[in-house]
Structures are given as structure tokens and as C-alpha cells.
Amino acid sequence: MSEVPVAARQSAAASLATALRGRWQSLAVRERRLALGAGGVLGLYLVWALAVQPAWRTIDRAAAEQHVLEAQWQTMQSLAAEVQQLRAAPPVSPEQAVAALQAATARLGTAGRLTMQGDRAVLNLNGVGTSALRDWLAEARTGARARPVEANLSRTAKGYTGTLVVAVGGGP
């Protein structure tokens, strides 16, 4: 590929500028004003489209995003406070933990059955509702200091069915 010499490019640019200047001079005053007005309108539109409008959209979205981020931050703060409370709580003896899990399971009625396997508790569920399962997990976490290890749950029309394994005491 051959490159066009710099002098040839400058010459072409100069001849184009001369031709445009001649065309401009040949226009009537009214046509020049119309061309300048159209150029001004086009320039204003470009400034709006490239600079003002994107910034305006960002400002509009920032308020909504700020509310979402604030809500997420508050949720994280409450979870962090809950973690601190759980860490500061005195340990629970294995007997107390089992009693707390059995009491929570009794509230499930016939839909839940608890079996102990060493330092783990296995909860068999059959049609437990979302709120009842959530309450059981909260009570297991706070009352027995148990933490979920494994869950094999499926949602049916009657609620959750399956097994939930929690670690009790100092076990892994």
C-alpha cells in the first residue's frame, strides 16, 4: 500500500478549504444566516445528546440506586449485629440444644420429625410451610446454636418436603 505524502494531503485540504470558502461567499446573506442557524441548532443538539442528557439520566438513576444500596446496607448492618449477638451469647450445652430443637420440632406437629445422630440433628419434613420452616431455623440458630449443614428440600403444593441436617454444639 502506498501512502499519500504529507504535502499532497495538505494541498488537498487547502484546495477543499478554498472551494468551501468560495461556495460560502457565493451564498446570499439570508442563506448564510439559515446555514448558521441550522449549524447552531445541530451544535446544541450534539451538546445535549453527548453531554447533558447522559449526565441527566445518571442523576435520575442515582437517587433510585441510592435507596436500593441504603436498604442493602441496613440489611447487612442488621445481619452483622445479629452475628455479634450470636457470638457473644454463652454456649449451650448439648442437652439444652437437643431440648430446644425438640421444642421447635414439636411446633411443626406431624409435619416434622427430628432424629439425633451424634452432634447432628436430622429434621425430616413433610409439607411444612415457609413461615414454619423459617421459624424452626431461627429457633434452631438462636436456641440451640445449631447451624445448617445440609438441606435436601423440594417444594410441593403442601409446602417443603425433604431433610434438613444441622450441626449442634462444637461439631463441624
Q: Are 41 and 47 in contact (CB under 8 A)?
A: no
144 Ramachandran zone, left/alpha/beta (phi>0; psi -120 to 50): alpha
pLDDT above 70 (res 13): yes
% of the chain at pLDDT higher than 90: 52
Query: In sequence order, what are the beta bridge partners of 164?
Result: 123, 151
Confidence at residue 171, expressed as pLDDT on a 0 to 100 scale = 44
**pLDDT (mean) for 18-41:** 90
Confidence at residue 3, expressed as pLDDT on a 0 to 100 scale = 65
**pLDDT (mean) for 128-137:** 92
pLDDT in tens, 72-126: 999 999 999 988 887 887 888 888 999 999 999 999 899 999 999 988 999 999 9
**Among 2-6, 16-20, 57-61, whose mean pLDDT is lowest?**
2-6
For the chain, the average pLDDT equals: 89
Query: In sequence order, what are the beta bridge partners of 87?
Result: none
Selection from 150, 168, 163 nearest residue 112 by Cα: 163
Confidence at residue 2, expressed as pLDDT on a 0 to 100 scale = 55
User: What predicted TM-score, i.e. pTM, was given to this entire model?
Assistant: 0.54
